[in-house]
Amino acid sequence: MFALESDDIRKTFGHFTALAGVTLNVERGEFLALFGRNGAGKTTFLKIAATLVRHTHGKLRVEGVDISDEPEKARRYIGFLSHNTYVYRDLNPVENLRFFARLYGLKDPEHRIESLLDRVGLQRRRSDPVRGFSRGLHQRLGIARVMLHDPSLILLDEPYTGLDAHAVETLDQMLDEASAAGKTIILTTHDLEQGLRGATRAAIIDRGKIVFTGAANTAAIREAYASYIRVGVSR
């Protein structure tokens, strides 16, 4: 079974076409790096996969669950991190993680919360309201939120944006561990080297369509990406 199956996913915003028919299957345990320029459709596709945005046409399944028919069930499998950390500014880190633990129906989550606060380096700020956090600290808490319910599908939209060096190292380690544990990861970025660091497969999206898929860390992806960038510059 695929962790994610998308069949002809389309999305329009008024007269603007954000996705023009994305068909992409991601096997369980794969680490897919999805490359594309700003506006290519990366974020829209991940938000649809995370059930945060409704698609206009097509079918998308997460762990065999149709996200249109059973979005709440699908969300139990998903961890999503983007520029918006989806944490509450008036709560402290512990309160935030307890809130999300209740949403996911986690029983006795305290040990998990303490472990994650240690991992992301927020123990010393555990009682401080999030509204006083820097962008980097917000992202650290966002990483903890994503991993809290041990999702099988981890969706990361430009996750390194705004991270400090410690948070980058922590995220890399946690992704390595998640990949080794058989989790499925989809990471969007426009940075080729950063995206290929842990990826097993790569894809390029352009103008709302997948224009390349192939194994990561091969000459083919590097050539395809270089060509993609050259064409974009010449437009």
What CATH number does residue 231 fall under?
Answer: 3.40.50.300
What local confidence, expressed as pLDDT, does residue 229 receive?
82
Q: Which helix (H) or strand (E) holds 140?
A: helix 135-147
What local confidence, expressed as pLDDT, does residue 72 receive?
94
Q: Rounded mean pLDDT of 92-109?
A: 96
Question: Has residue 235 got a pLDDT over 80?
Answer: no
Query: Is the residue at 67 inside a domain?
Result: yes
Q: Rounded mean pLDDT of 84-88?
A: 92
Residue type, 194: Q
Query: Is the residue at 113 inside a domain?
Result: no
Query: Is the residue at 106 inside a domain?
Result: no
Average pLDDT, the chain: 94
Query: Is the residue at 233 inside a domain?
Result: yes
What local confidence, expressed as pLDDT, does residue 26 receive?
98
Phi/psi for 14 (5° steps) reads 65, -120
Query: Is the residue at 27 inside a domain?
Result: yes
What local confidence, expressed as pLDDT, does residue 163 receive?
82
CB 48 within 8 A of CB 12: no
Q: Rounded mean pLDDT of 157-184?
A: 90
Query: Is the residue at 216 inside a domain?
Result: yes
In angstroms, the CA 124 to CA 110 distance is 16
Number of domains forming the structure of the chain: 1
Query: Is the residue at 173 inside a domain?
Result: no
In angstroms, the CA 169 to CA 69 distance is 38
Structure tokens at 12: 């329009």
CB 44 within 8 A of CB 19: yes
Q: What's 133's DSSP letter?
A: -
Is the pLDDT higher at 217 or at 91?
A: 91
Helices 135-147 + 110-119 axis angle, to 10:
140
Range of the domain at 189: 1-77+185-235
Question: Has residue 234 got a pLDDT over 50?
Answer: no
Query: Is the residue at 112 inside a domain?
Result: no
Per-residue model confidence as pLDDT tens digits over 67-85: 999 999 999 999 999 988 8
Q: Rounded mean pLDDT of 181-189?
A: 96
Confidence of residue 232 (pLDDT cuts 50, 70, 90): low
